[in-house]
Structure 1
């Protein structure tokens, strides 16, 4: 009896356990259905259907003349799945394939390729890397090679595409154009206009079909909207000239970094923006946008002080100021001039000679009891706010306020000479550009248009920040001061015989971050404009030296860079603002009928052929020009050749060109026949005696 009870108990227990287990399953199923059902159904759907992103094509970056600065190109990484390649096929075509790869890449022999591919085939590697970063034309060529031409399933070729941003001009304006990174920080124009360049991605729904093949669902595709193009104000010719000029000085003195800003006077367009920093290996690269970094500017800031004094009616630049031998005490510190011995001189000459004592004395005299008035003038010149340039990352200037706890008895005189405040090279360039623009301050900008399918959909016009930084009379006085710097002052060695330069040198000891004044690091600068009588470009050059460099004055480091840039712009007509500098002095020229590098009497044959008459006398210059005016009257006029610079001989006969060039000490080589169409040396550049010039004739 007990046995039956025991058996019955076990049966009931087992049955109860089964029932409980079944109930648990039902409860769990209900829970999944109610709580987790939607998520699991979505997961199941995703295993059969998924969304494919169709990336938009990123826009390009151009210059205003259509030069391509940045674009996107497809690149391909090629791999091989040897597991799908038939053994007979592999050994039948391996020789031909190896030979084809060797010829295409020219980096290894046929035998080397055969050895590598055979080893990978024997190991049945499924993801063997053949090549990274191939161009589209290379990928297309490889697809036609033996084995690979049999398709993905039997040929084993796996192509993984990606988009790469390229800069056709390499380092030119690299930091300003910027860098686009899918993962990481985007910089420059690429960052500022990222949403414009990026466009809008599209999408497509794919469904898994029989055999595991994903097929697009009809009607599900949303086309991507490609990014728009950006048009910049950069002039490639000016950018290249500025980079080469800066690079030459940085390398010569092993400087830490340098920057050049070239601004178009009437508009504020930035025609060049160069930023070169020294790398660990001694080379230079566009690594940081130094043009936007606020630093203590030094003496170039004296223009702001002089503008304030003139605007408040305190001075005339022909007034005298006592520079006291180049040393004067303010509060508990003594200020020194780098050039000692200056006494009673005009304010204009004090500016030209860059007297710290002179400028500090004026500021202390007229603003000492009311420094707020001086600071208010600086704020009116926008020296306390960002310029608003269309680049992300511009830092705010630092301008100490009289009410600040850091203000002291030495703040005003030192600020007047460019210490105790921080402004960027771009800010300083903007100020000098305002002077060149007859007092009108323009906002600097780098992007002139947004373009879609070749048409401008949005344009950016010049913007005025300050209608007049000073009265017309004050502006005129300021111009005489900046011109005097190059006539007789600290910038006199960059004076040009061909055009007038105006500007200001600056030298400042550096103290920022880990660098202290005692470290012996300096910032040399020159900011100016040209031609001074009709300004077209303002250029700011700022260079930071290595510690204890032998060369650190702005007149030694930065001013020569300015002159190299302005010479080449003026000589070659870069920027299309003027006729090229003509060392043969042709200006306002009528239609040229002939020109000759010898006696004017040789024109008689030409006049006879043209049936024209003209009075001919012996001309005092080496070169004469015969021309016809609008009434077809003949005229003969001298064309001057300036000694020591390369003449422009384009358009001359070979005989005349050789005569002129050899007379200047140049050796002449020629290519072709006919008139001179090109020359290897830039017109207006200095001549080295015995230098060779190559002429292209046609």
Structure 2
């Protein structure tokens, strides 16, 4: 072989071997990376790029009809410290130099921990050189978070100062438990959605749409790159009126407490629109206090008792079997109905004797109503049931709430077709006519009386009136008509006249008012224990009153229902009196009269002005053209604190200086101004009573200790 060729072949073989070795090494290394080091390199890659990070939207607000925020998503934070941020030595020096200021600042923001406790806690994290050290155990508000970020070192940002946060969205109800069951609840983890109430019914509107980002490391910094921005949820504007809700809840709870009742419901509707202005559902807790636990207004099936007698009489009026002056002999208040005794409430007093239909409803005579219905419908009970159904009293409303129940009016035909239904008997008709052997949620009974008030037009109860975005109405929810005419005008005129007399002359007098006329009907029903009957384990009662006001031009309808575990039971006294308090306060709130009608020789037109933010008082006094020095008070975006004095001729305002190092004087202020001023000084406030501040537990001028609770006693 030629020497040159041999040399070339040697070189070629050497190169091939080297290439093969390199190829094998590459394959081996690739396999090692692919299998042995797969997770390591995956983690490294994730540090630089994180794909498809879901960005949750902000959930929409729930707003009252009068524009108040009832439920909103507010941010909360947990704050952490990275003790290695900005280089350990540099950040440690910064922290050491400002540690006293930081700990004192944290104590002022979070008074439950002393500055010394914060110092020990921070030094513990510093020794550990932790990168994610929890500074404060509780979630903090946005305002508190902004205050923490203003402290030395923490104000430098996460990469230098080390302070970083974890953000949470929490659903808050500014009015606490007010209308809690109507509004509904969210799961603690809001990503799981809503549990019940309007939160669940309108979840698709409120929740919005998730966005998507990916996080990428560029030049040693992480950047969030938005692929698809989140779409925040829409707001829903409810029909609820915060003031009416508060009025109804206060009146109901006071009565429940007096009666030691088990539960109670109070619902207020606007007659023409069906808008539910208040929906109170109170249940007694183990501690004896009352809480909103379930939406009983729409979910609690109950025998309506005597409130149902109105519907029974209307069927007979509509079929022209009777008129308001049709007379029934109720005898001594007892009558044997097919082997069972039907009794009036006063049977032991001898009954009512011969009375007409109007009087039958005025005194809520069981004997009178059942005798009428049995006399005319016993041979065709289905005709009576069909007459009830013509008025749409049992038509499902489909309000959209979880656990919503539907009424049960089962005649012979329905019971034959429903498996497990109690068979029809001769006693079914007379007992059904007085509100037994039927089941209704309270809101259905109210909706029926609302139709009577609304000239026979039955509208669907409405809890939401509009959907909005950024303050702009996107969609209005129209009023839905269920039945354009539940009965003839003749029947309607007769029953409205009767219901007015039930309150003015009958057992429902406690539901009336001296200020305006009320119409309605009481209800008292023993509560069945199922197969055990009505008296097993003692007798309990559902007392109720359902009606509307004012009678001449009905504006609102209202139902009050109370479950009491004992007698004596009176729908008029125990439920009607609650109705009266609700109606009078609502009527007063919406009553508008020309001032000229109120003038007389003894009238005083200078208002009693409260102490507090006198800039607001000055604005009102100027608008009313009240004589005084209101024109000398400048307009300001910040409160101008001062005192007010008034005579029969003028109202004067005087500014006062507020010392930020001592407890301010809030005597004579309204609750709103007093709470605002004291809380701005770092005090916690508890209120007792109503009206102006009469006494404060910590005297004005005392040394100020932030976080201390001060009790204000209010008095009219």
Hey, what does 2:181 align to over in structure 1?
175
DSSP-derived class of the 2:228 partner? coil
What does 1:264-279 align with in structure 2 at a 5 Å threshold? 264-279=270-285
Hey, what does 2:437 align to over in structure 1?
420
Residue 539 and residue 205 in structure 1: after superposition, are their counterparts in 2 closer, same or farther (change >3 A)? same
Distance 2:370 2:669 in 1: 50
Hey, what does 1:345 align to over in structure 2?
355
Deviation, 1:488, is 2.0
Structure 1 residues not aligned, in runs of 5+: 1-21, 34-39, 580-586, 598-622, 626-650, 655-669, 682-690
Which one is further off, 133-142 or 300-309?
A: 133-142
Give the length in aligned residue pairs.
573
Deviation, 1:94, is 2.5
Deviation, 1:91, is 3.7
Residue 112 and residue 50 in structure 1: after superposition, are their counterparts in 2 closer, same or farther (change >3 A)? same
Q: 1:311 aligns with which of 295, 300, 318?
A: 318
Residue 80 and residue 494 in structure 1: after superposition, are their counterparts in 2 closer, same or farther (change >3 A)? same
Distance 2:626 2:168 in 1: 54
Residue 674 and residue 349 in structure 1: after superposition, are their counterparts in 2 closer, same or farther (change >3 A)? same
Distance 2:232 2:311 in 1: 46
Hey, what does 1:76 align to over in structure 2?
77
Residue 535 and residue 216 in structure 1: after superposition, are their counterparts in 2 closer, same or farther (change >3 A)? closer
Q: 2:549 aligns with which of 502, 505, 530?
A: 530
Hey, what does 1:241 align to over in structure 2?
247
Deviation, 1:432, is 0.7
Whether the 8 Å contact between 1:79 and 1:131 is mirrored in structure 2 is no
1:476 matched to 2:483: no
Residue 378 and residue 44 in structure 1: after superposition, are their counterparts in 2 closer, same or farther (change >3 A)? farther
Deviation, 1:517, is 2.2
- 1:46-81 alpha-carbon deviations (Å, 9 max, x no partner): 784411122222111222332222211111112334
1:295 matched to 2:288: no
Deviation, 1:146, is 3.0
Whether the 8 Å contact between 2:394 and 2:444 is mirrored in structure 1 is no
Deviation, 1:380, is 1.8
Deviation, 1:238, is 1.3
DSSP-derived class of the 1:132 partner? coil
1:53 matched to 2:54: yes
1:223 matched to 2:242: no
Distance 1:444 1:692 in 2: 33
Q: 2:394 aligns with which of 378, 384, 394?
A: 384
Q: 2:215 aligns with which of 206, 224, 234?
A: 206
Deviation, 1:526, is 0.4
Distance 2:597 2:343 in 1: 59
Deviation, 1:401, is 2.6
Hey, what does 1:467 align to over in structure 2?
484
Hey, what does 2:66 align to over in structure 1?
65
Distance 1:397 1:263 in 2: 19
Residue 111 and residue 680 in structure 1: after superposition, are their counterparts in 2 closer, same or farther (change >3 A)? closer
Hey, what does 1:330 align to over in structure 2?
337
Residue 674 and residue 516 in structure 1: after superposition, are their counterparts in 2 closer, same or farther (change >3 A)? farther
Distance 2:331 2:139 in 1: 68
- 1:303-334 alpha-carbon deviations (Å, 9 max, x no partner): 11011111111111111012122211222321
Q: 2:578 aligns with which of 549, 552, 561?
A: 561
Residue 485 and residue 228 in structure 1: after superposition, are their counterparts in 2 closer, same or farther (change >3 A)? same
Hey, what does 1:659 align to over in structure 2?
none
Residue 285 and residue 387 in structure 1: after superposition, are their counterparts in 2 closer, same or farther (change >3 A)? same
Deviation, 1:335, is 1.5
Whether the 8 Å contact between 2:78 and 2:134 is mirrored in structure 1 is no
Hey, what does 1:103 align to over in structure 2?
108
Distance 2:650 2:174 in 1: 31
Q: 1:368 aligns with which of 357, 378, 382?
A: 378
Distance 1:541 1:307 in 2: 22
Whether the 8 Å contact between 1:388 and 1:443 is mirrored in structure 2 is no
Deviation, 1:572, is 2.7
Distance 1:694 1:453 in 2: 36
1:257 matched to 2:267: no
Q: 1:397 aligns with which of 386, 401, 407?
A: 407
Residue 675 and residue 144 in structure 1: after superposition, are their counterparts in 2 closer, same or farther (change >3 A)? same
Q: TM-score, normalised by structure 2?
A: 0.73
Hey, what does 1:490 align to over in structure 2?
507
Deviation, 1:499, is 0.9
Deviation, 1:149, is 3.3
DSSP-derived class of the 1:470 partner? coil
Deviation, 1:493, is 3.1
1:282 matched to 2:291: no
Distance 1:478 1:538 in 2: 16
DSSP-derived class of the 2:54 partner? strand
Deviation, 1:589, is 5.8
Hey, what does 2:528 align to over in structure 1?
511
DSSP-derived class of the 1:221 partner? strand
Hey, what does 1:606 align to over in structure 2?
none
Hey, what does 2:635 align to over in structure 1?
none
Residue 115 and residue 673 in structure 1: after superposition, are their counterparts in 2 closer, same or farther (change >3 A)? farther
